[in-house]
Chains A and B, each alone.
Chain A
Amino acid sequence: MIKTDIIIIGAGPCGLFSVFEAGLLKMRCHLIDSLPVPGGQCAEIYPKKPIYDIPAFPEILAEDLVKNLMQQIKPFKPGFTLGERAEYLERKENKNYVVTTNKGTKHEAPVVVIAGGLGCFEPRKPHLENIENFEGKGIEYIIKDPDIYKNKKIVISGGGDSALDWAIYFSKTASEISLVHRRSSFRGHLDSVEVINNLSKEGKVNLITDSEVYNIVGEGKLQEIFIKNKKDQKMCIKTDFWFPLFGLVPKLGPIKNWGLNLEKNAIIVNSLDYSTNMEGVYAIGDVNTYAGKLKLILCGFHEGALMAQSAFKYIFPDQKSSFKYTTVLGGIKGF
């Protein structure tokens, strides 16, 4: 069990900066993030994009913002559980919360701060009635270990980089690989498109364009998929696996089952201190909502600062927190 003062769910910029604000008040933090590296959207989605509205930085790349934040919070020695999704929130008799990840890692603290941004990115699933019956039984949205699919029959759907890259990869290892795309052209990298077209000419990839999967069949596991083209001509392919690769969509994920008051996938907070309806649970950054909410990193920083003050009073009700400017402190004293 990892024990700390504050568990922060989400290691994006707001979660990271909260470590600093909590650290100034001598509170230790541990961050959990489903991504394998800290930085949230800034690291995963737009690391090379410049941001123009961070105070005192006329322009800063998202990845540099993360790098600077990591440096700023270093003295406070935050803990990290990365590549794991916060799955369950329970409250113990001593009023501490226990957050358990999808891999079973347990964390305990009196305060939980949800800084989950847009939430978890989950696969966009085709609208087929029985698709859930075959998930994990022939249908996979994320390919983790490609060796499993060696010498198997595979169908991939999608037209982006992910679909193209995997179709190219499996053209070397699968016994049969088909790529089904709704349109006649692909939006992936030009190099990949050229490779796919060449593989198709060589008969190494079965390219099925202007088409989509409309039915899936199997007993106990996926066995056949049915495809139709824009002229309503239909065909059936016998297959072992189908990978629908239609990108990711942001979802709140397991947090929505934790008993928090929500409004349209955002957590309702009191803008006085960004507390939620659950005692000791706060929400900051893009994941929360309140009157006048602005989804800006700088607003999330502000929310983190006020949250830390409130969390201190909650954790240490008998102690007086003396608010001091960092310049007055004469340097940052970490742990």
Chain B
Amino acid sequence: MALDYRKCAEEIVSHIGGAENVATAAHCATRLRLVIADNGKVDKKALENVEGVKGMFESNGQLQLIIGTGTVNKVYDEFLAVTGLSAASKDDAKKAAAAQMPLWKRLLKTPGDVFVPILPAIVASGLMMGLVEALGKAIPGFGETDWYNWLDMVANTAFAYLPVIVAISSARVFGGNIFLGAVVGLMMIHSNLINAWAVGTAESIPTWQLLFFNVKRVGYQGHVIPVIIAVWLMCMIEKWLHKHVPEMLDLFVTPLTTVLITAFVTFTIIGPIFSTFETYVLAGAKLLITVGFGIGSMIMGAIYPITVVMGLHHMYNVIEAGMIAETGKNIWMPIASAANFAQFGACLAVAVKSRSNRTKAVALPSSLSASLGITEPAIFGVNFRFMKPFVFGMIGGAAGAWFGAISKIGATTYGVTGIPGLLAIDNIPVYVIMLAIAAGVAFALTFVLWKEETDDAPAAAPAPAEEEMPDIVNTSVIRCSAGEIGQPVAGKVIPYDEIPDPTFASGALGVGIGVEPDEETVYAPMDGTISSVAESKHAIGISGAGDMELLIHVGVDTVEMNGDGFRPLVSEGDTVKKGQKILTFSKAKIKAAGHPDTVVVLLTNSDDYEDTTYGI
């Protein structure tokens, strides 16, 4: 019985609130992926009953209708014809889903998106800087050597030119030309400008008079947010021009105009807003730490990381230098140290707790770098992205800074925090206790209260989740009223009727899916009890919730191999947890025996449920 694609598409449209309620539509191998403007208008019950729709669910802001291979593209074509929409790629659908996130969430997500790709550069630099600075302080005289000088240059390169790296990454995130992005970044730290780190010691700051703007000739070293904003603006201008400038003139007009307008707005509007803001923050910070009983320091310890995010922390050298000149005692440094070390604690907790190898790989080196006082990798790469660790870090920072202030410790120099700060502090034991408080509070809070959001990973790095082994079991491939069954082995999922075996494909053993395996490990796709392990080791039965009886059969006709090439890791009667390894097999041996290696996954009693659906 052939499906009436037109009718199916029309019914879908009528149950999702009409064509005007569809933001974008895309399809993958089996699903129609829709982004709906107003989810309230969707009649889910009716949708599930549309002939041709095998199942539906919502995920990541998308409404996904399972239609099936070979059919979905035809329904999709009719769907476009009915709605009058144009084809959208999966990426577009993803983007539109991101656009459904509230504005503040999108804004918070941006620095993370920008920073994740550049982490290798800043983690390398951060660790090196921390070590080199520590060595410089620890070994008397080392700070004067050529080696130190050279190492210091190598180490701080990524930070000295951070705006360039941020600009390039931002241009990629916002979809502009990355070389124009690089130009914007370079321009903001051009050597004709006064280095932002040196502003505090500069005698006078020259200005330009541009129209009615009086522009300070100061660079944006150490800045992140103004760079991201400038590049975002650049990308908007560039895209608009590409659309509106005739193609013949595009290469002349677009880059020139883009860079010129961006530069002007950056120096006259974005820059001044930030530098005014910085001046206030600086004045505020100076005032704040004079508040008694350590309260001011506590507040500063809490908000310090926010100022790092804003790129304002390079201003603090001015405060520190001033303190040393006046009293010889830098009481700012313990506050900064507590704040930084708390971010280290929070980041370390993420590294320990996260179950994603990718997150661990970022969080561990980032936390090390933070312990040495270079917190950007930890803040932008980890804590700020997940938000909660960042907030817990602020709490830890507040606790540590308060303790440091009431203990009246201070540093004799400036520019170092964290572990290297041991060499600059006037009371080492108290300083150690302060760091322990800061990191301990942040670590404990993060470890206990932060929960990994699995949704966050694909958003930050669009790698296919199917490749991460333990994640596949969270991709449901069979659904019925009794529960969901995940994908037990990595690989391409096909519907059961495409399994290269007439019996399995007939549905006589129940409905389900086949997996053309990329890997050789089978994971339990649901919680349950092992009800049978075939003598020939190639098939496992699992009974799950609601009497679901699942058969996992590795390969076709593989019973003939008599167990050679299969290693079950469970035996009959064992209780298994979803995601637990239950069987390994050798693809090579199955191939050598001349059998297809398709892993058959069937809900053998699917007849008992009325609403069984299958496929990704």
Q: Do A and B bind each other?
A: no
Q: Which residues of B contact A (CB under 8 A)?
A: none
Q: Which of A's residues lie within 8 Å of B, judged by CB?
A: none
